[in-house]
A = this chain, B = another copy of it.
Amino acid sequence: MIKIGLDYYPEQWDEDFLPKDVEHMKKSGVKIVRLGEFAWSRIEKKEGEFDFGWLDRAVEEFGKAGIEVMLSVPTNTPPRWLFRKHPEIIKVGRGGGREQIGIRGHRCLNSQVLMEYADKITKQIVERYNASENVIGYQIDNEIEANWCGCETCNKLFREYLQGKYKDIDELNDIYGNQVWSGDFVDFEDVTTPPAYQNAWLNPAYMMDYARFAAKSATDYCEKIAELIRKYSTKEVLVTTNTWFPEHLPDYYKLYKNLDFVGYDNYPTTDVSNMASHAFHLDLMRGIKQDSFWIMEGLSGAPGSWGPMGETPMPGMIKGYALQAIAHGADTVLNFRYRTAKKGAEMFWNGLIGHDNVIGRRYEEFTDLIDCIKTFEHLGISDSKVVSEAAILYNVEDEMAFKLQHQSDGMYYLKSHMAWHRAFTRFGVGVDVVNGREDFMKKGKNYKILVAPCLYIYDEVTEKLLHEFVENGGTLILTPRSGVKDKHNNCLMKELPSWVRDLAGVKVKECDSIGNKQQKVLLLDEMWRKHLSDINISKPTDFDYIVSTQWCDILEVETAETLAVYASKFYDGEPAVTVNSYGNGRVFYVGTYFDDVGYESLLMSVLGKHDLKAIEAYKDGREIKGTNMYTILPEGIEVTKRVAGDRVITFIFNDAPVRQTFKYKGNEYDLQPFEMMVIGKL
């Protein structure tokens, strides 16, 4: 069953609010709430003195209303008495000092002292609510990031981590290349966490080890708390945490390995003049466990508090973004939050109801969402899963490494991921975002196309999987900065793209980091025709030159054919895009960063070859740029599918602030801004 719920903070309101609020939620059709995320001090006001009265009442009221409860292990905000007794649990931040108290997320996840207290509070909470039937599970902490902390414990554990990884200090010095600047550590005692955490002058292999260690600290913490929850629980409970995309990346795949499902905090921008591809992030979240996930916090009002307030969500956004999440694999959506806080630093991060406690447009749209869910429940959506024919590889270590060493002005790791995702979307093709470090085909997946951008750091699993994939007839798309690094984040002494060179059938003669400047790329006529012949269309004439930016790999074909060449600078005429036959498959190497039209053109060719069902979109989509050669879906229109057995449920979403009319598979559609159509048979 698809459940719609809310994040609720009984501890922030006078007691008489509770019954009225619960009654109201019940009436609206709310199925589930999350409680107690930051409430440690309300539960344990002084060490060992527990006050559960308020939470008991809340759990009970919700129970009576038939509303399920996710409780929380509130270690994101330890109480002040604990910080005062044990200041050593405060995170040591960028400046080298302890972070200020009074905020959140300022505890060190590696602290043993924190773990002792976390154990106690977990025991208290879980044992207390074992008997509460409507308590179905727990969220651990909040928006856990990699634990970039410089405290003594972290220093000690980081040293031990390195001692476990390297035979001795000589090996570590050698692998880091510390001799380059006479930076050889004398012994492991010499090693510290990075002095200012991230710095272009620090050794990249060392920083990579630290990034891994800090991510592992987050994983370890989560695992321990999960274990405690399960230990103290006398029934089956759901255990998870909630996630966003922070500066210091955790390893999502490891973080959630032993958790029951992925929880995502989904805050698409409310600025419609600058909409990002948040669908990509939903697909990435689904891919973490290749399974359904939850929205733990969903957009409900204007963001604010950490800066000036943003625009209020347009009508349709609150409902539409919840439905979009469902279309991309969410089974439960909790909106953040029922009522906007009246106190505390977060008072301008707006919830469904304003400070005035008056039910208005936003809450009404939320109830409309709940009603809407009911209208398509009969389609059997609840046990359905998203099925995609294409996938994009995501490697968390590659993103970590990109953050440590910026490759080119304006170029960041997810840039091409999101560009390819947009291109697939224009053709109505659903995409999985999968972890390149494990068997992404294992769950019976049958991808025909795989985009593997920026295979930056070597991995033998990825290497094996990609070769198998292509040998078995898959189409693989590669991009610049592949094969650059070994596992230590040092440069491989191989011609790029090194360990995927045989797949690509090209080598990179030279690179040109053009940043935000523009290069031109010319599609070669003959090649183009050949590869487009399957779908019987001719080369578009009005964008012979595709604009590219950021990076240009100057290619030398070995076994590949050239599809496009650069058209300016000293490598005018040299290959920019190639295709190679390998086993039963083929491999595209796209040596630069295109604008959207470029990716769409290329994908048209790829899709044509595979005759995906989605290809039909061409035939009745709208025309592009006055040509009649091919047509694709309007920008912002997303088509996704959830499948259960032989049931296919199609979701057509207008992720745009304007009404759009278009054809898809022979039918005409007319969707309002952020409107979702759910179709059982198509």
Contact = CB atoms under 8 A, between A and B. Distances in A.
A180 B341 contact: yes
Given A103-B202, A490-B342, A185 B309 contact: no
A268 interface: no
B514 A195 contact: no
A361 interface: yes
Q: How many copies does the complex hold?
A: 3
Given A302-B513, A356-B496, A491 B347 contact: yes
A654 B565 CA distance: 28
Contacts of A375: none
Contacts of A494: 355-356
B514 A177 contact: no
A180 B10 CA distance: 10
A348 interface: yes
A273 B180 contact: no
Interface stretch (A237-245, A406-414, A628-636): A406-414
Interface residues of A, number: 102
A347 B80 CA distance: 45
A626 interface: no
Nearest to A508: B356
A312 interface: yes
Interface stretch (A39-47, A130-138, A423-431): A39-47
Contact of A411 (B180, B204, B307, B308): B308
A527 interface: no
Contacts of A538: none
Considering residues A40, A97, A203, which has the most beta carbons from chain B within 10 angstroms of its beta carbon?
Answer: A203
Contacts of A511: 302, 309, 312
Interface in A174-198: 176-186, 190, 194-196
A30 to B, nearest CB: 21
A168 interface: no
A357 B493 contact: yes
A343 B180 contact: yes
B490 A347 contact: yes
A496 B40 CA distance: 33
Interface stretch (A71-79, A446-454, A660-668): A71-79
Given A80-B184, A181-B77, A342-B177, A314 B570 contact: yes
Contacts of A100: 194-196, 199, 201-202
Contact of A202 (B205, B345, B411): B345
B104 A181 contact: yes
Contacts of A342: 177, 490-493
Contacts of A347: 204, 405, 490-491
A182 B42 contact: yes
Interface in A236-271: none
A512 interface: yes
A594 B331 CA distance: 45
A344 B180 contact: yes
A12 interface: yes
A409 B411 CA distance: 27
A206 B102 contact: yes
Contacts of A46: 186
B183 A41 contact: yes
A200 interface: yes
9 contacts: A80-B183, A100-B195, A177-B344, A302-B512, A308-B408, A311-B514, A340-B491, A355-B493, A360-B510
Interface of A: 9, 11-12, 38-42, 45-46, 74, 77-81, 84, 96-97, 100-104, 176-186, 190, 194-196, 199-206, 273, 302, 304-312, 314-315, 340-348, 354-358, 360-362, 405-411, 484, 490-496, 509-515, 517, 569-570
Instruction: Sort A-B residue pairs by CB-CB distance and give the 8 closest, nearest first.
Output: A177-B343, A180-B344, A100-B195, A41-B182, A309-B513, A77-B182, A355-B491, A103-B201
